[in-house]
Amino acid sequence: MTHTHAHPGHHHHPHDDADLAEILDLDGAVFGPMLDRITEWVHGQVSAGTRRIVDLGAGTGTGTVALARRFPTAEITAVDASPVMLDRLGEVAHEHGLSDRVRTVAADLDESWPPVGQVDLAWAALSLHHVADPDRVLRDVHAALVPGGAFAAVEMDALPRVLPDDIGLGRPGLETRCHQASAQSHEFDVHPNWRAQLEAAGFTPVEQRTFDAADDPAPSGLAQYARATLHRYRTGLSDMLSAEDLGVLGRLLDIDGPDSVLHRDDLAADARRTVWVAHHP
């Protein structure tokens, strides 16, 4: 797979999960400022008494930690189907001194709703569109929220871009072709506008806002993120890309080569994410 988010409702091979965990950690570093702006906005939309939060499809815990910072008195239950992800999340919580406020639950959202109890805020970042029956999951979320609680869903509008269109190697548009191949292989799934489905599940009102990483300062770790992402393109899409494109990716990935992506000074973090905050009346 080539996208940068986890599937909360499906199990993966541990090796694949380990690779994905690296991408998720790097994604958190590169797009952390945008996530901070998202949680700030969500914080302003929900009850001041928010004390119990569930993070659905928590991955390696980037969102869990951001929520813990934004809601310093809240207890957070992080849910994911992958033991690899949950192990890493536990380590991250310990590193941030959050072990007393974060607990993990292994659960496949496609099978049943996890035992998380009643919550004030449910959060699903880059995960809702992966579940097999989102309408059922939204009803489950609604049932788990206390009256006056809220659900925040975050989705990626498109795969992040890191390269300019013309990188001086091969034909222009390499990253665009990688994104197109990802869509054709269903490695990146386009999400719907969740508003109608949220309202059908009983949520009202529904607030919506889009955030752009271009509004943030140049992030640290971008070169490493770019290399990890391009590596996943080259390995995951090898049967869909041309020999020329695969060759260019090889040159970009060659750490010791003159064309290594680690040596470029024209990388940029280009990503947009849409957020819905839906309220339980």
The residue segments making up the domain with residue 90 are: 14-159+188-216+269-279
For residue 42, give the CATH number of its domain. Answer: 3.40.50.150
Main-chain dihedrals φ then ψ at residue 104, nearest 5 degrees: -110, 145
Answer whether residue 94 is part of any domain. yes
Residue with tokens 């569109």: 129
What whole-number distance in Å separates Cα of residue 202 and Cα of residue 151?
Answer: 11
Average pLDDT over residues 170-185: 94
Q: How many CB atoms lie within 10 A of CB 225?
A: 26
What whole-number distance in Å separates Cα of residue 75 and Cα of residue 50?
Answer: 9
Token digits of residue 242: 């041309």
CB 68 within 8 A of CB 58: no
Answer whether residue 175 is part of any domain. no
Average pLDDT over residues 83-90: 95
Sheet containing 272-279: which strands, arranged edge to edge?
Answer: 102-106, 75-80, 52-56, 119-125, 145-156, 272-279, 206-212
What confidence score (pLDDT) does residue 208 get?
Answer: 97
* Residue ranges in the chain assigned as alpha helix (H): 14-30, 32-45, 62-70, 83-95, 134-144, 174-184, 195-200, 222-236, 243-253
Confidence of residue 188 (pLDDT cuts 50, 70, 90): low
Number of domains in the chain: 1
Token digits of residue 240: 């869909």
- What percent of the chain has pLDDT above 70? 93
Residue with tokens 């009643």: 118
> What is the DSSP secondary structure assignment for residue 130, as one 8-state letter?
G
Answer whether residue 95 is part of any domain. yes
Give the mean pLDDT of the chain. Answer: 91
Average pLDDT over residues 162-170: 97
- Cα radius of gyration (the chain): 19
Task: Indicate if the pLDDT at residue 1 is higher than 50.
Answer: no
Answer whether residue 81 is part of any domain. yes
Task: Indicate if the pLDDT at residue 16 is higher than 90.
Answer: no
SS (H, E, C) 187-198: CCCCCCCCHHHH
Answer whether residue 167 is part of any domain. no
